[in-house]
Amino acid sequence: MVVIAITGSPAVGKSTISDLLAGHGWKVESVAELAKSLDCEGEYDDLMGCVEIDIHKLAEKFMPNRDDNIIVDGHLSHFLEVDAIIILRCEPAKLRTRLESRGYPEAKVNANVEWELIAGTWSEIAEFEIDVPILELDTTTSTAEELVEMVNFWIEGDFTSNLTMISDAIDWLA
């Protein structure tokens, strides 16, 4: 049984893809729900409009049930003990539109668009030397069903096909 993190900026499609994978037999855990149940929530951040998560504490407490195939859905999921990571990306202008349609505060929209623009998730993976198979997918124009098909192909290939290295990551600045 495996544990896969689905990570990326808010509004790239993590929950949508996770929900579809649940229909394929995966147990889905959200970082937010795990943080709440494991007492790893911090203060409410007024600027970002959300509760902070103590990801270091959560990483220490997270003990997945290895009897299940598990998807961990959340933009901090790559910090947890997982067997593989799927990074979802979205072209920054399209991401801005998605974030604004959710009614997020301007500061949160700008911070998340900037994070996507500079490939912040990849920076964290490199900084913390996370060494598991990684699949990066562009959600800008693909349907959720197409993305799930790519994920299933990758999983069925034992995480060896379409591996993404940081040097091959999407570069919105190029």
Q: pLDDT tens digits for 90-125?
A: 999 999 999 999 999 899 999 999 999 999 999 999
Q: What is the CATH topology of the domain spanning 3-163?
A: Rossmann fold (3.40.50)
Residue spans per domain, the chain: 3-163
β-bridge mates for residue 86, sequence order: 6, 135
pLDDT of residue 62: 97
> What band does 49 get if pLDDT is binned at 50, 70 and 90?
confident
Alpha-carbon distances of 117 from 110, 161, 170, rounded to whole Å: 10, 26, 10
Q: What are phi and psi of 105, to 5 degrees?
A: -60, 150
Residue with tokens 């951040």: 45
135 backbone dihedrals φ, ψ, rounded to 5°: -120, 125
- Give the dihedral of Cα atoms 91, 127, 4, 81; nearest 10 deg: -160
pLDDT of 162 over the 90 cut: no
